[in-house]
Amino acid sequence: MDFNHLSLQVADIARRAGQFIRQEAANFDRGRVENKGLHDMVSYVDQQSERQLVAELSALLPKAGFITEEGTTTIGRTEEFNWIIDPLDGTTNFIHGQPAYCVSVALIQRDTLVVGVVYEINLDECFRAARGAGAFCNEKPIRVSSADDLHDSLLATGFPYYKFDQLDNYLKILASFMQNTHGLRRVGSAALDLAYVAAGRFDGYFEFNINSYDVAAGILLVLEAGGRVTQFLEDGDPIFGREVVASNGALHPAMMATVKEYWGK
């Protein structure tokens, strides 16, 4: 299978979903928001975007299964290929009119990511990657940054909105990075954070309590752009392990040293 060609087709599908989201953003009614859990919101826009993505991706690769955020499809996981979809990553931003949200689509073959697309709707930037074929933004090749000193880096992270048992350790990690980098940014979309690491806009990113559909596409972008991705304590699978540390590679040892110093204690 030509995964590079497939990634181009997926990028077109993500753009079409993004066009729907862009249209709905103009007159969005916050009264139509539902709560899935503590501080975890969903709107009809998320759900309709997911239905649209599932329909088009099913036509593209009929035998593939789905791992989705909103559960709008009855198509389950399969043994060989599975799409991992976040139809609107950055829902809270979208609901509040903050222009940082995207469509995220990945394809995994057994345990290996083979396609990843993140479409940033407001800037009309489509990041895509295919296994072994590199990473691109609007069809221009992208690479991770060349920063090799933590003190010269800009990092991204996300804030937990539930499950706060590790909050004290997380705040210690934040404090250390605040004192030893150019700064920390919280965009509000894990998929965008990872895409920006791949493009060299961030030098690294870390977050916990996240799901596969938040990070799968972005992880492949970082890897294909020359970066590195692990869990907080390195062993395990960052796609499904609910913890991610991503970097340009050169900064990974320093980032991991800080995380390991405080995490899990």
Q: What is the pLDDT of residues 60-81, one digit of tens each?
A: 999 999 998 777 776 777 889 9
pLDDT of amino acid 31? 61
> Which residues does the annotation place in the binding site?
69, 86, 88-89, 214
Write the DSSP symbol of residue 41: E
Return the bridge partners of 103, or none: 119
Instruction: Flag whether pLDDT at 139 surpasses 80.
Output: yes
Q: What is the pLDDT of residues 223-251, one digit of tens each?
A: 999 999 999 987 789 999 999 999 999 99
Q: Examine the domain organization and report whether 159 and 130 are in the same domain.
A: no
Q: Please give the Cα distance from 101 to 12 (Å, whole number).
A: 17
- pLDDT mean over 142-147: 98
Q: What is the pLDDT of residues 78-125, one digit of tens each?
A: 889 999 999 999 988 998 899 999 999 999 999 999 999 999 999 999
Domain end (from 90, 108, 141)? 141
Backbone angles phi, psi at 163, to 5 degrees: 55, 75
Domain end (from 141, 175, 202)? 141
pLDDT of amino acid 38? 40
The closest alpha carbon to 200, from 235, 242, 230, 156, belongs to 156
- pLDDT mean over 119-134: 98
Neighbours of 193 (CB within 10 A): 33
pLDDT top residue among 150 and 96: 150
Write the DSSP symbol of residue 231: B
Helix/strand/coil for 188: coil
**Residue 12, Ramachandran bin (φ over 0: left; ψ between -120 and 50: alpha; else beta):** alpha
Q: Please give the Cα distance from 59 to 80 (Å, whole number).
A: 17
Backbone angles phi, psi at 13, to 5 degrees: -65, -40
Distance of CA 90 to the CA centre of its chain: 10
Burial, 257: exposed, middle or buried (Cβ in 10 Å; 0-12, 13-18, 19+)? exposed
Domain end (from 113, 141, 169)? 141
Instruction: Flag whether pLDDT at 177 surpasses 80.
Output: yes
Give the CATH number for residue 180: 3.40.190.80
Q: Examine the domain organization and report whether 136 and 220 are in the same domain.
A: no
Distance of CA 88 to the CA centre of its chain: 11
DSSP E strands in 58-210: the ranges are: 65-68, 81-89, 102-109, 112-120, 125-130, 134-137, 140-141, 154-157, 183-185, 204-208
Q: Examine the domain organization and report whether 36 and 81 are in the same domain.
A: yes
Residue 35 pLDDT grade (very low, low, confident, very high; cuts 50, 70, 90): low
- Determine contact, residues 248/227, Cβ cutoff 8 Å: yes
> Which residues does the annotation place in the binding site for Mg(2+)?
69, 86, 88-89, 214
Q: Examine the domain organization and report whether 44 and 155 are in the same domain.
A: no
Q: Examine the domain organization and report whether 37 and 164 are in the same domain.
A: no
- Determine contact, residues 220/214, Cβ cutoff 8 Å: no
- Determine contact, residues 144/200, Cβ cutoff 8 Å: yes
Q: Examine the domain organization and report whether 125 and 156 are in the same domain.
A: no
Q: Examine the domain organization and report whether 131 and 216 are in the same domain.
A: no
Q: Examine the domain organization and report whether 96 and 131 are in the same domain.
A: yes
Give the structural domain span for 73. 3-141
Task: Work out how many domains the chain is built from and give that number.
Answer: 2
- pLDDT mean over 16-22: 96
Q: Examine the domain organization and report whether 130 and 157 are in the same domain.
A: no
Write the DSSP symbol of residue 150: G
**C-alpha torsion 126→197→144→151, nearest 10:** 150
Instruction: Flag whether pLDDT at 40 surpasses 70.
Output: no
